Amino acid sequence: MKASVLFVCLGNICRSPTAHGIFKKLVDDAGLNNTVAIDSCGTGDWHLDHAPDKRAQTAALQQGFDLSGLRSRLICQADFIRFDYILVMDKKNLHDVLLLCPEQFKHKCELFLTYANELAVDEVPDPYYGGDDGFEDVIEMIKVASLNLLKEIQAID
Ligand code: 4NP
């Protein structure tokens, strides 16, 4: 395994499953499905074992990303050991994840948009209470960060 990547948001039904599905397709298309492990989870427990929000699924599928098989789960202590990259969507997620994370693994936790310096924003905004546009904006940001993350992982020896 070259790298393992965990995407984290609040509910694990909008942003982190979108990142999971988009990054997985890029990894699969690059022929790296056996060398990069991917998962997603949330810091909040309102939607456990739910499929992604229909609006997130629809927006993603329009661009060829199928999120239908994903199910939400909570972050757990084993995640901090298992994953090399723990990539969160916003600063509240980062705060919540760092509260749970043992000191020696804190360096793994980063804002996902750290990998999208070309964007003027550093957080993926929560689209849950907004309109469909919000879901499309999330996808555009996640695509940029995912392409850069994939390049970084491909450069690992
Ligand atoms: P997510 O969006 O963190 O991108 O999955 C949300 C989903 C559900 C809620 C908030 C954000 N909620 O409050 O139930």
3-class DSSP state of 74: strand
The closest alpha carbon to 115, from 154, 150, 151, 149, belongs to 149
**Bridge partners of residue 40, in order along the sequence:** 7
Predicted TM-score (pTM) of this structure:
0.98
State if residue 9 touches ligand 1 by the CB under 6 angstroms criterion. yes
Whether the predicted pLDDT of 25 surpasses 80: yes
Give alpha helix (H) positions in 62-156. 77-82, 91-100, 132-154
| Residue 157 pLDDT level (bands cut at 50, 70, 90) | confident
- The CATH number given to whatever domain includes residue 39 is 3.40.50.2300
| Residue 18 pLDDT level (bands cut at 50, 70, 90) | very high
Closest atom of ligand 1 relative to the 46 alpha carbon = 14
Whether the predicted pLDDT of 1 surpasses 90: no
Query: Which residue's CA is the nearest one to ligand 1's atom 6?
Result: 11
Tell me which residue range forms the domain holding 44.
Answer: 3-154
Handedness of CA 103, 145, 47, 39 (dihedral sign): negative
The pLDDT tens digits for 82-137 are 999 999 999 999 999 999 999 999 999 999 999 999 999 999 999 999 998 999 99
Pairing of strands 85-88, 3-9: parallel
Q: What is the model's pLDDT at position 153? A: 97
Query: Which residue's CA is the nearest one to ligand 1's atom 9?
Result: 11
Number of domains comprising the chain: 1
Query: Which residue's CA is the nearest one to ligand 1's atom 8?
Result: 11
The residues annotated as belonging to the active site are 9, 15, 126
